[in-house]
């Protein structure tokens, strides 16, 4: 059979309609995608009622949040005021201590003054100090008063010895260089002066050996002399130290050496031998006075702590009252919400009875349902 282009177009149109009808039938007769018998107005009404309830609940929550923020701000302001008052009191206490209770104004400050040694005058300033009398035990016969001059002389002597050693070492180096030159010249003239070279070499070695021996001998003598001087100095220092310890104020238990030149009540710490009975009684009196002052300060502190506890209790009671007031307000709000829920429940129940007993009384028969889904048009 011959198919014309017009026939092909008609056949394509028919096939396209047939496929569209099958797809439409599948969509219409699909029970999962079809909705029948829904009350749109009731659904919209329920949505609006839910939105109204959400708005009311949101307003209640916002009012509760605003009230909570106000109460928190009030509590924060009260707490800041308390902290400010406490800070002012502490500043006044510190200012009073810094003004009227300085360590320098205390009677016993000289006992623990960190600059006591700096303020004290040495027992012996120089050799002609008028305070160093016969019984001062600060100046003795046989002292090494020329120690600085002797040390200076020793330094100069060491310098002279070092210069002498350097000169000798330089001379030895020059002789060694000369010998090396002579040796080199002898090697160059070996064919002509073999015997003379051997003699010159032996002479050079002998002179070098003698120079080394002389240098080592002088160095050994200097070291031995230095050791003897060091031993003599150490022996003299040890004897002087033993004599100073034996005749010193520390072993003699002399109380007068502890008296300071700055006043009759001042003492030198490292020479102090202990307090007398009068001083001990005076210290005991001061300690009893300090104990009484400490007890009075503790009573004042206890009184202040009691005042602070009273203020804190007042704040706690005020916060408790505020919290109870907020709970009462929350209970009232919950009662209002409960009443609204009961009213909504009664309305919904009456509407349900209206739908079941009045609106949907005409029940459809089977013939009514059989007329549907017979065609897609």
For the chain, helix, strand, coil in percent to 5 are 80, 0, 20
d(CA 351, CA 209): 139
**Crossing angle of helices 194-247 and 147-188, rounded to 10°:** 170
Structure confidence at residue 35 (pLDDT): 53
- Domain segments of the chain: what residues? 144-259
Confidence of residue 82 (pLDDT cuts 50, 70, 90): very high
User: What is the DSSP secondary-structure string of 289-326?
Assistant: HHHHHHHHHHHHHHHHHHHHHHHHHHHHHHHHHHHHHH
d(CA 166, CA 160): 10
Residue 76's contacts (CB-CB under 8 Å, 6 or more residues apart) are none
**Between residues 32 and 18, the one the model is more confident about:** 18
Of these ranges, 107-121, 126-140, 179-193, 282-296, the one predicted with the greatest mean pLDDT is: 282-296
CB 222 within 8 A of CB 190: no
Q: Is the pLDDT of residue 38 over 70?
A: no
Q: Is the pLDDT of residue 178 over 80?
A: yes
pTM equals 0.23
CB 319 within 8 A of CB 75: yes
Structure confidence at residue 84 (pLDDT): 92
**In this predicted model, what pLDDT tens digit does every residue of 53-69 receive, in sequence order?**
899 999 988 988 998 89
Q: Is the pLDDT of residue 337 over 80?
A: yes
Q: Is the pLDDT of residue 37 over 50?
A: no
d(CA 170, CA 172): 5
Q: Is the pLDDT of residue 334 over 70?
A: yes
């Amino acid at each position: 059979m011959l198919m014309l282009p017009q026939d092909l177009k008609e056949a394509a149109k028919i096939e396209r309609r047939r496929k569209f009808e099958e797809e439409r039938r599948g969509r219409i007769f699909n029970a999962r995608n079809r909705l029948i018998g829904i009350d749109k107005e009731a659904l919209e009404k329920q949505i609006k009622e839910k939105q109204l309830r959400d708005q009311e609940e949101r307003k209640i929550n916002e009012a509760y949040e605003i009230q909570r923020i106000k109460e928190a701000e009030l509590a924060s302001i009260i707490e800041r005021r308390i902290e400010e008052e406490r800070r002012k009191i502490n500043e006044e206490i510190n200012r009073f201590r810094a003004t009227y209770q300085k360590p320098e104004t205390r009677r016993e400050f000289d006992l623990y003054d960190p600059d006591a040694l700096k303020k004290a005058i040495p027992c012996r300033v120089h050799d002609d100090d008028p305070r160093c009398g016969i019984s001062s035990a600060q100046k003795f016969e046989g002292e090494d008063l020329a120690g600085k001059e002797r040390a200076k002389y020793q330094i100069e002597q060491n310098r002279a010895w070092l210069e002498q050693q350097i000169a000798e070492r330089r001379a030895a180096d020059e002789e060694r260089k000369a010998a090396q030159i002579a040796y080199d010249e002898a090697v160059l003239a070996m064919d002509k002066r073999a015997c003379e070279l051997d003699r010159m070499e032996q002479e050079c070695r002998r002179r070098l050996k003698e120079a080394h021996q002389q240098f080592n001998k002088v160095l050994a003598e200097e070291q031995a002399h230095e050791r003897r001087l060091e031993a003599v100095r150490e022996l003299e220092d040890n004897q002087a130290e033993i004599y100073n310890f034996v005749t010193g104020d520390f072993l003699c238990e002399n109380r007068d050496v502890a008296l300071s030149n700055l006043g009759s009540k001042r003492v030198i710490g490292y020479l102090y031998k202990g307090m007398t009975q009068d001083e001990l009684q005076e210290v005991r009196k001061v300690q009893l006075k300090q104990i009484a002052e400490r007890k009075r300060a503790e009573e004042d502190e206890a009184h202040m702590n009691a005042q602070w506890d009273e203020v804190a209790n007042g704040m706690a009671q005020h916060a408790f009252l505020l919290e109870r007031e907020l709970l009462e307000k929350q209970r009232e709000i919950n009662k209002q919400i409960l009443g609204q829920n009961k009213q909504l429940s009664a309305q919904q129940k009456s509407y349900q009875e209206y739908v079941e007993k009045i609106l949907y009384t005409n029940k459809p028969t089977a013939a009514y349902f059989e007329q549907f889904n017979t065609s897609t048009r």
